[in-house]
Amino acid sequence: MQLTRAARAVFAVLVLALPCPSNFEYRVRSEPSRQMEDSFASHYINIVNILLPAGNGVESVFPKDTQWVVAVRIMPGFEAPESKLSLSKKYDGSVEAILIAPLGDSIIKQMTSLRRTHPEMGEDRIARGIKLVDVTVGSKQAPELKRLAEELGTTRLELTLPDDLITDPTRYEFWSTSQWGANIHLTMQGSSFHPQRFPLLAWADEFHRIALRYLAQGAVTNR
C-alpha cells in the first residue's frame, strides 16, 4: 500500500519521537538481556564490596590513638576507575590518609575482561585477579592533609537537592566513626563531568586528587 506524502510525514515524526539510547540506535531490551544486565550489575557490586569494602575499617577495633576516621568510596560513571579513601585524625594532631584504587583499568573493565576469558570464574576468584594499588600518607609527608581534616569539620551538609537531571552520576558513599562510637553513613550522587555543587562532594574530590598525586609519586604498595 502506497502512503501519501502527508502520511509519510506523520510516520517520520512518530519514528523520530521514539525514545532512543544515546548512540541513536533504537533497540528493545528483551527479558533475557535485562536479566543478564541485572546479573552483571549484581556481580560487579559484590566484587567492589570485596575489593573496596563498605565501612571505614575500624568497626571491630578502633585504634586507641585515633580521634575519628572518615572513609569515602567513589564510584564514577562511564567505567572510570573506582577508589576508596580514608582520612584519620590522631590525638597527637597528625593526620593519615589511605587510598585504594585499581591498577590500570577500572574494576569494572578488569572484571569484564576476566569474565570474557574465564566465564567459569566465581566472584572470589575474579576479585583475586583484579589488580589494585594503595598508598598510605601521613601529614608529615603531606601537610595539606591537616587542612583537609580541618575543612571536613566545617563543611556544610545541604539536605536540599538540586533539581538537575544527572546521567551516569558519580556515587559517593561516606562512613564516619569517632573513638566513642558515634557514626554516620551517607550516600550521595554527583556529576561525572563538572565541579561538584555540594561542599562535601567537592571536599571528597580534592582529597581524591591529593591522594592520587602521592600515588603517582610512587609511595604505593601493590595488592
Q: What is the pLDDT of residues 120-136, one digit of tens each?
A: 999 999 999 999 999 99
Q: What is the mean pLDDT of residues 192-204?
A: 87
Q: Does residue 126 fall inside a structural domain?
A: no
In a domain, 118, yes or no: no
DSSP 85: E
71 within a domain of the structure (yes/no): yes
Strand partners, 178: 68
- How many distinct structural domains can be found in the chain? 1
pLDDT at residue 30 greater than cutoff 50: no
Distances (CA, A) of 192 to 74, 78, 154, 159: 11, 8, 25, 20
Does residue 30 or residue 211 have the better pLDDT? 211
Residue 3 placed within a domain: no
Q: Which three cell numbers stand for residue 186?
A: 551517607
Q: Are 46 and 38 in contact (CB under 8 A)?
A: no
Answer whether residue 123 is part of any domain.
no
- Domain residues for the domain of 182 are 56-104+132-160+168-222
Tens of pLDDT, residues 84-95: 999 999 999 999
| 77 band by pLDDT with thresholds 50, 70 and 90 | confident
**What is the model's pLDDT at position 59?**
66
Nearest to 94 by CA among 68, 73, 72, 71: 68
pLDDT the model gives residue 218 = 63
